Amino acid sequence: MRIAFDGRFLSARYPGIGRYAYNLLRALPAAAPEAEIGVFLGEEDERFPWSRLEGVGRWPLAVPVRGLREQLALPRQLRRRGADVFHSPYFATAWRTPCPLVVTVHDAIGARREYLPPPLARLAFVVSTRLALRAARAVITVSEASRRDLTRRFGTPPEKIAVIPEAAAPELRPPSRESVAELRARRGLPERYALFVGADRPHKNLAGLLRAWAELGAGAWPLVVAGRRDPRFPEARQTARRLGLDARFLGEVPEDDLAALYGGAGLFVLPSLAEGFGLPVLEAMACGTPVVCAAAASLPEVAGEAAAYFDPRSTASMVGTLARVLADAPYRRELAEKGLARAKEFSWTRTAELTWEVYRRLKAPAGR
């Protein structure tokens, strides 16, 4: 069985999708030893080095994501490679393929006006996602919350959607004291800090977190913000400046620094109003960092009983939960221990095995 995978998303332009695709591709060959896996690749990105992709074929494809060229080139390449199944880890893909299409749609957040304000961007998301969902023989999403959202917003039958969760990368584990000290010295980080990791898009609710942090006052630790800056959404940085907050914006952090960044934090906070999965929650847990997050969308599904929760639409709720956790060291240790155990319940090995089952069902003869 020959699997073709669209690896053009292994790029800093697609940090979340790229991480999903990269870790899945690293685990797939062991989960499907009887399959031949080929990956369409664009330009190599140092964030996702090809040297770690073992057991897969590398098929160059200098075709940009989206556009007419993609609609023509991908089907042609699939025929040329003799693919039995084609997997796109993103909704932007070819809609007419010579073999069954599997598409991973992580969420329907882009369809909501309050989270993707530019009308043309929202229209492009809705149209592309709807076409991909209709074209796909099977759809993968990463949480039950996302499956419900895709069914409600696009009418995709729930039985067509396989829920296959993500996991923290194997490199993300409690770091050594030396690596934490080195990162602190190199990036000028304080000895004790709270951490947010994610893009500064509206649904991440970073501005809401900053307002709550200001209300915490002297009891709050310095807040460190890591993640790619989106110039379309300047509200978070504007809020920090207006409130005079002690917040450090690091921008994108290299993959090799993430374990020390997470593990050096005394607390991780994710205040999102919407999430397809919420991978930073598991990443922080895997590094031994206590987690506080929103009781919204997929986050309780992912974090289970290993996090402290707040209502992300209520500043008072956010402040109350954060104040309690910041003041209670034994509770933070309890959350950290529960988080380590929770993170171990997810693995890319299991994600790859479940993904392989989706491929096999599409290749199985009729009636089986």
Please choose, from the candidates 87, 82, 79, 106, the residue with its C-alpha nearest in 3D space to the C-alpha of residue 25.
87
pLDDT tens for each residue of 234-244? 999 999 999 99
Please choose, from the candidates 109, 97, 43, 151, the residue with its C-alpha nearest in 3D space to the C-alpha of residue 87.
97
- What share of the chain has pLDDT > 90, as a percent? 85
pLDDT tens for each residue of 109-141? 999 888 877 888 889 999 999 999 999 999 999
Q: Which residues in the chain are classed under CATH 3.40.50.2000?
A: 2-167+347-363, 177-343
- What is the CATH topology of the domain spanning 2-167+347-363? Rossmann fold (3.40.50)
Work out the average pLDDT over 210-226.
92
**Residue listed under structure tokens 């995978």:** 5
Please choose, from the candidates 186, 241, 247, the residue with its C-alpha nearest in 3D space to the C-alpha of residue 222.
247
Please determine, for residue 26, whether its predicted confidence score (pLDDT) is greater than 80.
yes
Pick the CATH number of 177-343 from 2.30.30.90, 3.40.50.300, 3.40.50.2000, 3.40.50.150: 3.40.50.2000
Mean pLDDT of the chain: 94
Q: What is the pLDDT of residue 363?
A: 76
* Model confidence, pTM: 0.95
**Residue listed under structure tokens 């509770």:** 331
Work out the average pLDDT over 157-182.
97
Give dist(CA 220, CA 215) in Å, integer: 9
Work out the average pLDDT over 63-90.
95
- Exposure of 131 in the CB half-sphere (CA atoms within 13 A): 16
Please determine, for residue 228, whether its predicted confidence score (pLDDT) is greater than 90.
no
Please determine, for residue 366, whether its predicted confidence score (pLDDT) is greater than 50.
no
Reported in sequence order, the residue ranges of 61-99 that DSSP labels E, i.e. its strands, are 85-88
